[in-house]
Amino acid sequence: MHDLHTHSRCSDGILRPQALVSRAKEKGVSVLALTDHDTTVGLAEARLAAIEEGIELINGIELSCLWNGIGIHIVGLNFDLEQSSIQDAQRHQTRSREERAEKIGERLAKLGIAGALEGARELSDGGVIGRPHFAQYLINKGHVSSMNAAFKRYLGAGKPGDVKQLWPDITQAVEWIVGSGGVAVVAHPDKYKMTRTKLKRLLDDFIEAGGQAMEVISGGQAPNVTRDMSLIARQKELYASCGSDFHVPDQPWQELGSHAPLPEDLEPVWELWSQP
């Protein structure tokens, strides 16, 4: 079982990398990619755990970027951590996330919510600061009752905490990954809620930049979505990836190793680094 999209406490998950790897082993995952948002800081701990658990760990990251003003996520897999390109990516994204967090904090302060930036930073535990950390702060302070409510009222698309303009263009994100010897993958394409025509235009630009794969399966998606994504992958001659997009234990739709297998007639992305 390959699970090539997961998150630890180093970004917006809640498990430490070691605990995530152990849980992946329990759930039957044999090949795991830790793809924290805009950082690889958890990979060293995850690798030690993977050796102990006897599973294969693939270097991973999920980069935030923009395509025609729309926020898109690109997963990078099997890159060389020592390459300057992936290090440049992390430095850029760390600065962007810090600036973004400051803007979100300022906007929430104008709404009468004080201390949000400091609270989110504390909740990030030294990792990258993301909107889920702000959401948890809002819950802790009684401003909202749940993550969904926090995003619906304050942090989701079109809300005060929706700050996108600091992200790089999709071409830059792909170049960082490819320049480090990795494979660029469009993450959870169905979640962008684009028309299929628009999604295909996105994929055309992604391919032109050097992208090679798309997630055909993301978590516990409906079978008709898998059929749709499979058809597009074939049409665009893209390799297929799959992953749970795990963040929190005991959420069946995003549990480690719980997603369906890739359709047999697709070329799995791991063939790109398994070839002699």
As to burial, measured by CB atoms within 10 angstroms (0-12 exposed, 13-18 middle, 19+ buried), residue 26 is exposed
Report the amino acid identity of residue 157: A
Report the amino acid identity of residue 72: I
pLDDT at residue 275, as a whole number: 64
pLDDT at residue 125, as a whole number: 74
pLDDT at residue 118, as a whole number: 93
pLDDT at residue 276, as a whole number: 56
- DSSP 8-state assignment for residue 263: P
pLDDT at residue 8, as a whole number: 94
What domains does the chain contain, in order, with CATH numbers?
2-86+169-274 (3.20.20.140), 91-155 (1.10.150.650)
Length of the chain: 276
Report the half-sphere exposure of 42 (CA within 13 A, side-chain side): 34
DSSP 123-167: HHTTS---HHHHHHHHHHTTS-SSHHHHIIIIISTTSTT---TTS
Tens place of pLDDT for every residue, the chain, 276 residues?
Answer: 999 999 998 988 989 999 999 999 999 999 999 999 999 999 999 999 999 999 999 999 999 999 999 999 999 999 999 999 999 999 999 998 889 899 999 999 999 999 999 999 888 877 778 888 999 999 999 999 998 999 999 999 889 888 876 899 999 999 999 999 999 999 999 999 999 999 999 999 999 999 999 999 999 999 999 999 999 999 999 999 999 999 999 888 899 999 999 999 999 999 999 865
- Count of C-beta atoms within a 10 Å radius of residue 91: 10
Antiparallel, parallel or unpaired: β 56-67 and 70-77? antiparallel
pLDDT at residue 130, as a whole number: 85
Pair 94, 127: CB distance under 8 Å? no
Query: Cα separation of 49 and 130, whole Å?
Result: 25
Report the half-sphere exposure of 71 (CA within 13 A, side-chain side): 13
